[in-house]
């Protein structure tokens, strides 16, 4: 495989005679560093980048690439001295790098084809050296640097000085494909960053947005950078680009985005003006949203009440210690399960090693016996041979069985640890609630709210799978109770999705996540119920949660402890006919929490409780803050469509 290393310099000016310059460098392999993992996408990234630049107005003679063995420190210096130095003051220079980088001596180094860790200062290109080259050879004032560096695991570190500290009198925008403690991801022979770089440069939409933020048909460098930061943050690969500096020069022009068509003549079941994409369903009061084929209901505008009374909160305060103790008991059982399975796994591992040694020894003896050519004495008695046992040992029956048990044990151990983390999150929040006085976060409040539509059901695996396939998004991990959950159980609610995953789905489907007020109104109805079905205490036939069976019910029932299909438990629907607004799975909301979490924008609200939740946690007014990157096996979402 040929090695590739890409650096792109582009020059743009508002002047009629301004030109665009590009230098591309990409590396796949590092022959001087045996422990450095090879890359498979750099060469393709170079090719795609050059094609993209030329399609966006870059003259082919102004684009130069250094690939494979040509990507060394000497050729980099010559490219600056002989090629990029021709750029004038009004030109714009963009630097695009694809390869590995390494952090050493408080500096980030771009590793070149001939780089060696022993002589990294001489054979690699540090950001300090890059700044010196820019200062020495370039007269162009506007510079855009893209660093798509696949960081090596031992190179994580954040330098104290940035490239701007080494260059004077330049408008530099430095875009790094991931944060300092992340890796740049690749898929299907191409880096994720390079894929989105092409989308941004060409003005193509992602989740119905493009890089032309103000729709003026011009994509500036800052607009391009901000779009890449946003799109990569929501692409599902846990990659968060970093931008330093701004530059407002136009890097490409694109056609103007068509204005949204408005059709005010399409009336819904309640006389409202339906937005584009909404259709009335055959059953009165229900609607179909075309993008993700979801069933929705209309929620009218007006005043709505959230929260509950002080009296209820005082009752809650008395119940919290018992609820916390119950969860702590469950957590203790999970810890015991984790300890036992850890011991079992270690024992099985030791047994495996012993079995493998015995098996290897038996095979060696068997080979020696086969090679023994001396004919035995006829009168010498022959020992009986257990052929079946030899065959079992030969086929590694014992070893394979032990390995199978060990793999199952490790899977169960991971499940126990994940369940324990989720329970510990709930315990931590309840401990904080016990300290809040007087639970202001849950006190009754009145809001004026506009009309909107909300999903009747939680977003299903089938809908989310279609979204992932259309946007080349990675599938969420399987929950602990089911392998191939997303693929095999299409009508169950999707789980193990982060808040950003849910937002990305809502943007793709041209919806949004509900606010806590929108969610609560759809759950409690105009009567302001404590539960979706009313004020009656929950029991198992109307909600999938950790609640008791109905009183005087002689048919004993037990909680299921995993989600059910989204159209189940019809008896527990809300006034607006929404299913599972209590229990089944928690649901993400769009807004940040209040109270002690209000200053932390890394948290969002989840509401409704889940199959694991008690009666307090499935009330319509209860909510819990969760980190935006959390993926829980009991957390999903539903969406709303707002009426403009």
State residue 615's pLDDT score: 84
Q: Which long-range contacts (CB under 8 A, 24 or more apart) does 525-529 make?
A: 525/574, 525/575, 525/576, 526/575, 527/575, 528/305, 529/574, 529/575, 529/620
Q: Nearest Cα to 473, choosing from 273, 187, 247, 198?
A: 187
Instruction: Examine the pLDDT at 620 and tell me if it is beyond 50.
Output: yes
Length of the chain: 644
Residue 253: phi and psi, rounded to 5, are -115, 145
Q: What is the DSSP string of 76-99?
A: HHHIIIIIGGG--TTSEEEEEEEE
Task: Please tell me the least confidently modeled range out of 168-182, 225-239, 272-286, 293-307.
Answer: 168-182
Q: Nearest Cα to 228, choosing from 204, 250, 249, 263?
A: 204
- For residue 582, is the peptide bond before it cis, meaning its omega torsion is within 30 degrees of 0? no
The stretch 425-449 carries a mean pLDDT of: 66
For the segment 355-387, what is each residue's pLDDT rounded down to a tens digit?
666 666 666 665 655 554 444 444 444 444 444
Specify the pairing of strand 101-104 against strand 107-110.
antiparallel
The stretch 341-363 carries a mean pLDDT of: 64
For the segment 457-503, what is each residue's pLDDT rounded down to a tens digit?
999 999 999 999 999 899 999 888 888 999 999 999 999 999 999 99
State residue 26's pLDDT score: 94
Q: Nearest Cα to 513, choosing from 637, 639, 605, 644?
A: 639
Neighbour tally for 466: CB within 10 Å: 16
Radius of gyration of the chain (CA): 31
Q: Nearest Cα to 140, choosing from 95, 175, 197?
A: 95
State residue 18's pLDDT score: 81
With the CA atoms of 32, 33, 34 and 35 taken in that order, what torsion angle do they form, in degrees rounded to the nearest 10? 180
Instruction: Examine the pLDDT at 350 and tell me if it is beyond 80.
Output: no
CB 102 within 8 A of CB 127: no
Q: Which residues contact 358 (CB under 8 A, 6 or more apart)?
A: 393
Q: What is the pTM of this model?
A: 0.80
State residue 591's pLDDT score: 86
What is the Cα–Cα distance from 585 to 611, expressed in whole angstroms? 6
Instruction: Examine the pLDDT at 454 and tell me if it is beyond 70.
Output: yes
State residue 389's pLDDT score: 47
CB 580 within 8 A of CB 493: yes
Looking at CATH, the fold of the domain delimited by 4-253 is given as Rossmann fold (3.40.50)
What pLDDT band is residue 324 in, cutting at 50, 70 and 90? low
With the CA atoms of 426, 491, 568 and 521 taken in that order, what torsion angle do they form, in degrees rounded to the nearest 10? 60
Specify the pairing of strand 63-67 against strand 4-5.
antiparallel
What is the Cα–Cα distance from 227 to 221, expressed in whole angstroms? 10
Q: What is the DSSP string of 563-625?
A: ---TT--GGG--TT--S-SSSSSEEE-SSPP-GGGTT-TTEEEEES--TT--TGGGSTT-EEE
The full set of domain ranges for the chain reads 4-253, 310-366+389-442, 446-642
Q: Of 147-161, 292-306, 402-416, give the range with the top mean pLDDT.
A: 292-306
The stretch 117-131 carries a mean pLDDT of: 90
State residue 378's pLDDT score: 45
Q: Nearest Cα to 322, choosing from 614, 16, 579?
A: 614
What is the Cα–Cα distance from 170 to 577, expressed in whole angstroms? 60
Instruction: Count Cα neighbours of 62 within 13 Å in the Cβ-side half-sphere.
Output: 24
State residue 8's pLDDT score: 47
Specify the pairing of strand 92-99 against strand 142-149.
parallel
Helices and strands in the chain, H and E counts:
13, 25
What pLDDT band is residue 400 in, cutting at 50, 70 and 90? low
For the segment 36-68, what is each residue's pLDDT rounded down to a tens digit?
888 989 999 999 999 999 999 999 999 999 988
Percent of the chain with pLDDT over 70: 71
What pLDDT band is residue 105 in, cutting at 50, 70 and 90? confident
Q: How far is CA 404 from the centre of its chain?
A: 31
Neighbour tally for 171: CB within 10 Å: 16
The stretch 188-201 carries a mean pLDDT of: 94
CB 642 within 8 A of CB 512: yes
What is the Cα–Cα distance from 512 to 462, expressed in whole angstroms? 19
State residue 38's pLDDT score: 86
The token pair at 632 is: 């829980």
Looking at CATH, the fold of the domain delimited by 446-642 is given as 3.90.1580
Q: Which residues contact 570 (CB under 8 A, 6 or more apart)?
A: 579
CB 346 within 8 A of CB 485: no
């Amino acid at each position: 495989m040929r090695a590739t290393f890409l650096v792109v310099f582009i020059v743009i000016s508002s002047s009629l005679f301004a030109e665009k310059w590009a230098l591309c460098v990409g590396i796949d392999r590092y022959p001087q560093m045996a422990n450095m993992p090879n890359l498979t996408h750099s060469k393709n990234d170079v090719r795609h980048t050059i094609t993209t630049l030329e399609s966006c107005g870059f003259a082919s003679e102004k684009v130069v690439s250094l690939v494979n063995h040509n990507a060394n420190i000497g050729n980099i210096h010559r490219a600056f001295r002989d090629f990029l130095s021709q750029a004038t003051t009004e030109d714009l220079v963009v630097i695009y790098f694809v390869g590995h980088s390494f952090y050493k001596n408080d500096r980030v180094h771009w590793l070149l084809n001939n780089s060696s860790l022993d002589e990294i200062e001489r054979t690699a290109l540090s950001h300090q050296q890059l700044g010196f080259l820019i200062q020495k050879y370039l007269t162009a004032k506007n510079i855009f640097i893209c660093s798509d560096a696949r960081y090596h695991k031992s190179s994580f570190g954040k330098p104290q000085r940035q490239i701007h500290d080494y260059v004077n009198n330049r408008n530099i925008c430095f875009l790094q494909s991931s944060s300092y403690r992340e890796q740049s991801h690749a898929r299907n022979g191409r880096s994720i960053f390079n894929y989105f770089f092409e989308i941004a440069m060409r003005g193509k939409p992602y989740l119905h947005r493009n890089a032309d933020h103000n729709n003026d048909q011009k994509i500036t460098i800052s607009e391009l950078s901000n779009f890449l930061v946003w799109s990569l943050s929501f692409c599902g690969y846990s990659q968060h680009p970093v931008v330093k500096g701004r530059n407002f020069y136009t890097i490409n022009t694109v056609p103007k985005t068509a204005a949204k068509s408005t059709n005010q003549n399409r009336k819904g079941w309640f006389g409202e003006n339906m937005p584009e994409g909404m259709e009335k369903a055959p059953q009165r009061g229900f609607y179909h949203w075309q993008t993700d084929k979801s069933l929705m209901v209309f929620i009218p505008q007006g005043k709505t009440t959230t929260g509950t009374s002080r009296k209820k909160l005082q009752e809650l305060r008395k119940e919290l210690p018992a609820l916390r103790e119950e969860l702590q008991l469950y957590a203790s059982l999970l810890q015991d399960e984790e300890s036992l399975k850890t011991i079992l796994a270690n024992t099985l591992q030791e047994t495996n090693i012993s079995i493998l040694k015995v098996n290897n020894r038996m095979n060696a003896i068997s080979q020696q016996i086969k090679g023994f050519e001396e004919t035995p004495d006829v009168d010498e008695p022959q020992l009986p041979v257990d052929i079946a046992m030899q065959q079992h040992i030969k086929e590694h029956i014992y070893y394979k069985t032990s390995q199978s048990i060990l793999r199952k044990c490790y899977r169960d151990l991971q499940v126990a640890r994940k369940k324990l983390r989720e329970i510990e999150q709930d315990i931590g929040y309840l401990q904080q609630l016990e300290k809040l006085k007087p639970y202001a976060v849950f006190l009754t409040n009145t809001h004026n709210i506009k009309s909107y539509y909300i999903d009747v059901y939680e977003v299903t695996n089938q809908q989310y799978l279609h979204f992932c396939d259309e946007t080349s998004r990675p599938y969420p991990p399987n929950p602990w109770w089911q392998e191939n959950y997303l693929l095999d159980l299409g009508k169950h609610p999707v789980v193990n999705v982060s808040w950003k995953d849910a937002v990305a789905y809502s943007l793709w489907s041209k919806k949004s996540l509900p606010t806590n007020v929108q969610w609560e109104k759809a759950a409690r109805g105009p009567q302001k119920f404590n539960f979706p079905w009313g004020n009656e205490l929950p029991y198992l036939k109307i909600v999938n949660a950790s609640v008791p069976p109905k009183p005087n019910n002689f048919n004993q029932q037990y909680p299921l402890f995993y989600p059910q299909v989204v159209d189940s438990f019809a008896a527990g629907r809300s006034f607006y006919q929404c299913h599972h607004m209590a229990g089944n799975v928690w649901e993400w909301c769009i807004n940040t929490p209040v109270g002690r979490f209000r200053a932390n924008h890394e948290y969002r609200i989840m509401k409704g409780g889940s199959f694991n939740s008690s009666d307090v946690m499935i009330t319509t007014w209860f909510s819990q803050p969760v980190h935006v990157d959390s993926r829980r096996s009991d957390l999903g979402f539903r969406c709303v469509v707002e009426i403009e």
